[in-house]
Amino acid sequence: MNILIIGGAGYIGSHVTREFLDRGHGCTVFDNLSSGLRENLFSEAKFIHGDINDYMQILGAMKDSAAPFDAIVHLAAFKAAGESMLNPAKYSKNNIAGTINILNAACETGINNIVFSSSAAVYGEPQYIPIDEKHPTLPENYYGFTKLEIERLLSWYDKLKNIRYASLRYFNAAGYDVKGRLKGLEQNPANLLPVIMETACGMRKEMQIFGNDYDTKDGTCIRDYVHVNDLAVGHAMALDYIIKNKKSLTVNLGSEQGFSVTEVLETARTVTGQPIPAKITGRREGDPAKLTASCALSHELLGWKAQHSDLETLIKTSWEVYKK
């Protein structure tokens, strides 16, 4: 197939592009490089430097191919939950309005298969765990709201314009390519794994543990960390599903395991052999104590199951990149 990967130079996007290339598909990456990196691009994939906020640019990209595109994978979004609460306009414009441009350009050029990076952030504070797709969607931050709003747009475009979509609700994406082909470091990361790695390699003096008084086994928050190669495979399987079944899909992608901040940190100390200084500070606003996924539906519909999402692999593959 011929696939347009929007946001394909980013951390998750580059792993997704690698997976589609490995499966023999033709890939074009469209990215504005605001957080994506040139070093995440592959010579086998064509690159178009452009912005989804510019309708003519995204429309031009969709037309700019010898053979028409069979599908779009859309991963272009801002994703810092904290920032989204302070600067909602940035998230409205890029995440929501940018996606409207993608949808309208897709309709104009007749591309009707879309795989969309959604997020477990659409669920908000868990009412039960593990969280399945029937869990109420009540996002607690504006970032999560933008992802939910896009899911609603996709569902209308499905009804009205025959767009088939796969909405993939990622839990905590982590790790690096198990074959070591991707090495681009995320800029100013706020997520736990890259923060631990930056501390392990001396880019930060000390990290913070946001609260140890939660109602969990060791008092720190529990999350479901899913390896980025597993997420990438999920995209390929989801695209096959919507094309074969001519039916849209909304599924969780997670490891179905929960690890506390302390467990992640202790394993990182063992794997890296570094002290990784950490101090316990107050809770971070909006952090639920425990979040884990049920992936029964992605298993049933796609045959997908996380393969590389054990804590050791998540940390080892990250350390391979950061230690350099």
Rule CB under 6 A: say whether 223 interacts with ligand UFG.
yes
* Angle (nearest 5°) at CA 10 between 23 and 157: 75
Rule CB under 6 A: say whether 186 interacts with ligand UFG.
no
143 is catalytic: yes
DSSP string for 100-142: HHHHHHHHHHT--EEEEEEEGGGT-S-SSSSB-TTS----SSH
Which amino acid is located at 253 in the chain?
L
Q: Measured from the CB atom, is 22 or 263 closer to ligand UFG?
A: 263
Rule CB under 6 A: say whether 119 interacts with ligand UFG.
yes
Closest-CA residue to 73 (of 211, 214, 235, 185) = 235
User: What's the rounded Cα separation, in Å, for the pair 60 and 80?
Assistant: 29
Rule CB under 6 A: say whether 138 interacts with ligand UFG.
no
| Contact residue for ligand UFG among 104, 137, 191, 216 (CB under 6 A) | 191
| Contact residue for ligand UFG among 37, 150, 166, 261 (CB under 6 A) | 261
Structure tokens given for 318: 């990250």
Total residues contacting ligand UFG (rule CB under 6 A)?
A: 21
Rule CB under 6 A: say whether 114 interacts with ligand UFG.
no
Closest-CA residue to 261 (of 309, 203, 316, 195) = 195
Closest-CA residue to 166 (of 239, 253, 229) = 239
Rule CB under 6 A: say whether 226 interacts with ligand UFG.
no
Cβ neighbours, 10 Å, residue 296: 14
Rule CB under 6 A: say whether 291 interacts with ligand UFG.
yes
Instruction: Point out the residue whose Cβ comes nearest to ligand UFG.
Output: 221
Rule CB under 6 A: say whether 298 interacts with ligand UFG.
no
User: What's the rounded Cα separation, in Å, for the pair 311 and 263?
Assistant: 9
Query: Scanning the structure block, which residue is given the tokens 């591309």?
Result: 111
Q: Measured from the CB atom, is 52 or 231 closer to ligand UFG?
A: 231
In the complex, what is the shortest distance from the CB of residue 233 to ligand UFG, in angstroms, rounded to a whole number? 19
Of the listed 11, 91, 143, 176, which one is catalytic?
143
Q: Measured from the CB atom, is 170 or 241 closer to ligand UFG?
A: 170
Rule CB under 6 A: say whether 207 interacts with ligand UFG.
yes
In the complex, what is the shortest distance from the CB of residue 121 to ligand UFG, in angstroms, rounded to a whole number? 3
Give yes or no for a contact between 147 and 122, defined as CB atoms under 8 angstroms apart: yes
Residues designated catalytic: 143
Q: Which spans of this chain sit near ligand UFG (rule: CB under 6 A)?
A: 79, 81, 119-121, 171-172, 190-192, 195, 207-210, 221, 223, 261, 284, 287, 291
